[in-house]
Structure 1
Amino acid sequence: MKQDSTLVFIPSNLIYKQTGYLKGCKKCFENSEVYYVTSNKPIRNTYQYQCIGFVGETVDFKDSIGNIPLFINSKNGQLSVENNSSITQILYDYDRFKNSDLIHNQSEKYGQHFKYLSEKLKTTREISQNGRNSITKYILFLVQIFDYILKITRRIHQIVQKSSTFAHFEGNITTAKWFLTTLMEERKITPKVGNTICAKIIDLVIGVILTTYLFEYEQQIFDFINFNTEVIISNLRGLLLYLMGQPIGLKLNYSYNNFLGRFFLYHISLWRIFLQGLYPLFTGYFKFLVLPGFLGFSYQIAMISDVVSIATFHSYCIYIYAARLFNLQLKCLKSLWRVLIGRKFNPLRDRVDSCQYSQDQLFIGTLSFTILFFLLPTTMMYYVVFTVFRLITLTVYKCLHIVRNTMQTIPIYLLFLWIVNASSMAGNIHIAWKSFDDRGNVKIEAKLEKLPLLESVKKFIPESESPAKNPRGFGEIFHSILTGTIL
C-alpha cells in the first residue's frame, strides 16, 4: 500500500562506508510509514536481528534478501526507499538517544515517533554475557533475604514505627531491594541508582567520622545529656508551679488547678526517677547504642529522634492527659447545650431532634453545664501550654526527618552528570532543518539537550524511603488542636 510520505530515523553517526545490513523496524501510520534504524553500524549476519536496510554500492530491491525496503549508498550516503515516495530523513543523536533515561516529547509532530524510537533503542542495548548469570543469581539471593526481613518488619509494623531507628532500618532495606531490582532490570547504572550510591557513600563517611568523634568524647556527652535532662525537668517543674498560681492574672479554679498541677508534678517526679535509673545502663552500654552510627549519618539522625522522644516523654504524657480532658469537656458541653435548648442527638437517623426534658433533667443539665463551663479555662490553660510543647516536638521531628531524607537523596551525582552534560540527563528534543529538495525530500537533525537543573533533579532524585511520623496537613492539625484530638 503506497503511503503519502515516508519517515526514516537514521543515526547521525551511521558508518555508511561499510557494507552490510541495518538493524531496525518499520511501523505504519495513517498517512505515512516510518522506518527506525536502531544501530549505527551495518551488520553482516541477519539471522539474529530484524533488518530493514542495506548499505552498499548498488542494490536491487526485488532481489534483496528479506525484502529490504531501505538502501544507503556507501559512496555518497544517499538514501533510497523502495516505494519512491517523498522521504523525511531524521538524523538523530544515536548515543544520547540510546543512553537517555528521560525524553520530553516537545515536538507535537514527531513526539510519538521519538518516544517509540527511544523504547526500541533501550531494548537493543548490548549486554555483556560474561558472568551475568552468576551475578543475577547472587542478586536474586540478596533480594530474597531482603524480602524475608521486610516480611518480619511488616508483622511488627506497629512496633517498628514507634522507633525512628527501626523505621529507618526498614526503609533502608526497602531501598536496598529497589536498588538491586533496578540494577538487575536495567543492567546499568541509571542516574537514580547512581545518585543513591553516591548519597549512601557520603552518608557512610559522615557517619563513621561522627561515630568516632562520639567514642572520643564519651564522658563529655554523658555530662551534656545529664545536665540538659536536669535543666528540662527543672524548668518543667517551675512552669507547672507557675501555672498552679495565677499566671498572667487569670482567675482559675483554685482546687481544680491545684489538683491538675500536683497530678502532673507527680508524673514528672516518676519520669525523673526512671531517667536516674536508666542513666547507669546508658553509660555502660553507650558504645553498643551508637554502633548503628557506623551505618551512616542518617542512622545517627534517627537515633537522635528516638532520644528526643524519650527525653520529652513526660511532657507528651501531660499533653495526652490535658488533651483527653479538654476533648471530654468539649463533648460534654456540646451534649449539655442540647439539653438546655431542648434538643438531643438521634443516632438512628444521625441527626439532632427535638426533645421534651423534665424539670429535674433540665436542672441537672444546667448545673453540670455551668460547672464544666467554668472549669474549662483551667483545663484549657494546661492544654494550650502543653500543646505548644507538642508542636515544638513535632517540628523537631519533622526537621530531623527532612535532614535524614536529604542525606539519602542528596543530588551530588545528578549535579555532576548535569555539569558534564551526560547523555543520561538529556531530555529536551531540539529539531533543526538541514536541507530539502524539489522532490519533497527533507533532511532534519534531532538532538537531545539537557534539562534545566531543577527539573533534572526533580525527575531523577530517588524517593524518600519512609513517610514522616505525622503526615497530616495544616488544616487537619489545626482542627485537631481546636477539638482536643491527639496530634
Structure 2
Amino acid sequence: MSIKVYLPLNYYYLKKPTDLYGQVQINEDNVVAYYVLEASDLEFRDKAVNHEASNMRFLGSILSVDFNADQNQYLKFNMRLCFTYNSSRANISLVYTGITPEYLKHIKLILYEKAMIRNLFIGGESVNRRSTEHGDSDSGACDFVELCRLTQSTLETQNIAGKQAKKSVLHGLTLIADFPIAIFRYIAENVFVNSIMVHTSIYKHFREWQTTCEEGSRPPNIALDRALGIILMLILFSLATQPGDFLIQISHYVIDQLYSLLKVLEGSPIGLKLNIHLNNFFLDCFKYHIELWSTFLDFIEPLVRQVFLAIGAFGCLGLTFQIALLEDLISIIGLHSHCFYIYTKVLYNVERKGLSVLWQVVRGNRYNILKGRTESHNYMNRQLYLATIFFSAILFLFPTTLVYYVVFAALKALTFATLSIFEFFRRQILSLPIEGCMRPFLKGCHDIDCLQIKDVSPQESAFLIHKNQKISVTVYKITAV
C-alpha cells in the first residue's frame, strides 16, 4: 500500500503560505492518490473549507515550518495534505497526510507540469476526448489520464466570463454551420423520403456522420470535412463552366464501352468457341437493354446536368457527403451492368445446378434425402434418355453462359472496388487522428508513451512521521523523452 501525491512543479519550490486544491482518489489496489491542481493565498477559517461544488476540494496548505501544528489542528482545518518550508531548504517538505493506509512504507511525491499534462495523447487521440470506457491496464497510465482530465476541468472553470462570451459566439457560428445539416435531417427523416433513401450511400453516411457528431470525439475531423466540402463547392461553381456535361459524357462513355464489350463477345473471345444461337440471344437482350438505358439518359439529360449542382451544394454539409452522393451516382450509371450481372448469375446457377443433378442421373445415382447420402437407383430407359439429352444440351450451352458470367462478374467487381475506394476515403476523413497528426506542430503536446518518471534527489532525505514511524518520501518528476 502506498500514497501518491501529484504536485505541480512550481509549487514544489513555493515559499509562501498557500492553500492547495484538488482531488483525492483511492484506487482498486488501495493506492491513495492526491491530485493537487490549484493553489491560492492562505485563508484560515474557523470551520473546514470545502470546494466540491467547483469540482475541486480543499486538500491542505503550504505553511512555514514554524507552524508546528499537531494533528488536531490539521483536522480542524480539514487538511488532507500539509507541506512546510524554511529558509534552509530549496523546496517544501511533506509533513502530514489525512488518508494514511495501515501498513505504509513509502510515499511518492510526483512533480508535473500542467501544460504538458493537459496536452497528452494516447494513440493519436487527445486524452481529454477519450471516454472513461478506454480502460488502460497500466495503473501509471491511468493516473496520468486522470490527472490530465482533472487539470483540463480546472482550466475550463477559469475565466468564466470570457469563456461565456466565446461560447456564445461559437454557439451562434455552430447554429449557422448546422443549418444545412438541419434541413437535410428534416428531409431525410420524412417518412416518404426515408423509405426511398434508406438504402442509399448518402443516407447511410448521414447516420454515421450524425453518430460521430453526437459523440463529440472528432471535432477536428468534422471541421476539416466541412472546409474541404466548401472548397470543392466553390471550385465546382466557379471554375467548372458546365460540370453537368462531364457526367453526361461519362454516362455515354460507359454505354459505348459496353457496346464495345458486347462486340468482342460477338465473335470468339480469346479463341473460345461460343454457342452461336445462345450468344446471339444474349447479345440481342443486352443491346436492347443498353438502348433502353441510353434512351432513358437522353430523356433525363436536363435533370442529370443539374446533378453536379447538387454535389456542389452538398459541400455545405461536407466533403464526405459529396463523396457519398458520388457513390450513388456511380451506382446509377452502372445500373445496367449490374442488371447484366444478375441475369447471367441466375442463368449460371440454374445451369450449374442442372448439370449437377443430371450428372447423378446419367451415372445411375440419386440423392436420398432421408439418409442424407447418394446411392444407386434403377432409372427407366426413357428417364435416362431424357436426362442424357438435357445433360448434353446444358453441357454445350454452359461455356457460353460461363463466359458471360465471368465477364459481367468482373465488371461488377470493378464497380464494387471503385465504390469501396470512395467509401474508404469517406470514412477515413471522419476517423483519421487529425489531432495526433497535428501534435508535432503544436508546442507542448506529448504522447503518453513518451512520458517517463525521473528521480529527483532533494538536498537531504525526506521523511514523514506517522505514528512515531519514519516513512520515506521519494520525489519524482514527470518528463517527456
The TM-score bracket by the shorter chain reads: 0.7 to 0.9
Alignment match, 1:475: none
Task: Decide which moves more: 364-373 or 317-326.
Answer: 364-373
Alignment match, 2:288: 266
What SS does the aligned partner of 2:72 have?
A: coil
Closer, same or farther: CA 269–260 of 1 in aligned 2, 3 Å: same
Listed one character per residue, the Cα deviations across residues 150-203 of structure 1 (whole Å, up to 9, x for unaligned) are: 993799767435433444444444443333xx6xxxxxxxxx323432342233
Q: Give the aligned residue type for 1:8.
A: V
Distance in 2, matches of 1:147 and 1:303, equals 13
Alignment match, 1:354: 375
Distance in 2, matches of 1:118 and 1:287, equals 46
Q: Equivalent residues in 2 for 1:243-254 (5 A)?
A: 243-254=265-276
Q: Give the aligned residue type for 1:358.
A: Y
Distance in 2, matches of 1:151 and 1:281, equals 21
Identity of aligned residues (%): 26
Q: Give the aligned residue type for 2:157.
A: I
Counterpart selection for 1:385 from 407, 415, 440: 407
Pairwise CA distance, 1:289: 6.5
Closer, same or farther: CA 168–111 of 1 in aligned 2, 3 Å: closer
Q: Does the CA-based 8 Å contact 1:25-1:37 persist in structure 2? A: yes
Distance in 1, matches of 2:379 and 2:447, equals 78
Q: Give the aligned residue type for 1:444.
A: Y
Distance in 2, matches of 1:29 and 1:357, equals 76
Q: Does the CA-based 8 Å contact 2:245-2:305 persist in structure 1? A: no
Distance in 1, matches of 2:435 and 2:121, equals 15
Q: Does the CA-based 8 Å contact 2:221-2:430 persist in structure 1? A: no
Listed one character per residue, the Cα deviations across residues 361-396 of structure 1 (whole Å, up to 9, x for unaligned) are: 333333322221221100011111112211221222
Pairwise CA distance, 1:231: 3.8
Alignment match, 1:193: 219
Please tell me whether residue 17 in structure 1 is matched to residue 16 in structure 2: yes
Alignment match, 1:447: 479
Alignment match, 1:189: none
Distance in 2, matches of 1:26 and 1:353, equals 71
Task: Decide which moves more: 10-19 or 421-430.
Answer: 421-430
RMSD: 4.1
Closer, same or farther: CA 120–146 of 1 in aligned 2, 3 Å: farther
Q: Equivalent residues in 2 for 1:7-406 (5 A)?
A: 7-14=4-11, 15=14, 17-27=16-26, 34-42=32-40, 44=43, 46-49=49-52, 50-57=57-64, 58=67, 59-64=69-74, 65-75=76-86, 76-82=91-97, 86-100=106-120, 102=122, 110-111=140-141, 113-118=143-148, 120-121=150-151, 126-127=156-157, 131=164, 149=186, 152=189, 159-160=196-197, 162-179=199-216, 192-214=218-240, 217-218=241-242, 221=243, 223-283=245-305, 287=309, 290-345=312-367, 351-354=372-375, 356-359=377-380, 360-406=382-428
Q: Does the CA-based 8 Å contact 1:96-1:424 persist in structure 2? A: yes
Distance in 2, matches of 1:26 and 1:177, equals 30
Closer, same or farther: CA 399–356 of 1 in aligned 2, 3 Å: same
Pairwise CA distance, 1:320: 1.3
Listed one character per residue, the Cα deviations across residues 276-323 of structure 1 (whole Å, up to 9, x for unaligned) are: 111133347764565334544434333332332232222221111111
Pairwise CA distance, 1:445: 0.9
Q: Give the aligned residue type for 1:61.
A: Q
Closer, same or farther: CA 357–158 of 1 in aligned 2, 3 Å: farther
What SS does the aligned partner of 2:157 have?
A: coil
What SS does the aligned partner of 2:390 have?
A: helix
Q: Give the aligned residue type for 1:97.
A: I
Pairwise CA distance, 1:149: 4.9
What SS does the aligned partner of 2:239 have?
A: helix
Listed one character per residue, the Cα deviations across residues 458-484 of structure 1 (whole Å, up to 9, x for unaligned) are: xxxxxxxxxxxxxxxxxxxxxxxxxxx
Listed one character per residue, the Cα deviations across residues 413-472 of structure 1 (whole Å, up to 9, x for unaligned) are: 5433332244475553311111263864321112356xxxxxxxxxxxxxxxxxxxxxxx
What SS does the aligned partner of 1:255 have?
A: helix
Task: Decide which moves more: 418-427 or 359-368.
Answer: 418-427
Q: Does the CA-based 8 Å contact 2:25-2:32 persist in structure 1? A: yes
Alignment match, 1:455: none
What SS does the aligned partner of 1:446 have?
A: strand
Q: Does the CA-based 8 Å contact 1:10-1:37 persist in structure 2? A: yes
What SS does the aligned partner of 1:251 have?
A: coil
Pairwise CA distance, 1:238: 3.2
What SS does the aligned partner of 2:71 have?
A: coil
Task: Decide which moves more: 232-241 or 315-324.
Answer: 232-241
**Normalised TM-score (structure 1):** 0.73
Distance in 1, matches of 2:297 and 2:25, equals 74
Listed one character per residue, the Cα deviations across residues 345-369 of structure 1 (whole Å, up to 9, x for unaligned) are: 45667x3342524223333333322
What SS does the aligned partner of 1:445 have?
A: strand
Q: Count residues in correspondence.
A: 427
Pairwise CA distance, 1:264: 1.1
Distance in 2, matches of 1:237 and 1:384, equals 17
Pairwise CA distance, 1:28: 7.0
Distance in 1, matches of 2:80 and 2:316, equals 62
Q: Does the CA-based 8 Å contact 2:244-2:308 persist in structure 1? A: no
Distance in 2, matches of 1:424 and 1:46, equals 35
Distance in 2, matches of 1:147 and 1:295, equals 9
Closer, same or farther: CA 243–341 of 1 in aligned 2, 3 Å: same
Closer, same or farther: CA 260–298 of 1 in aligned 2, 3 Å: same
Pairwise CA distance, 1:109: 7.3
Q: Does the CA-based 8 Å contact 1:301-1:404 persist in structure 2? A: yes
Pairwise CA distance, 1:91: 1.3
Q: Give the aligned residue type for 1:24.
A: Q
Distance in 2, matches of 1:305 and 1:28, equals 50
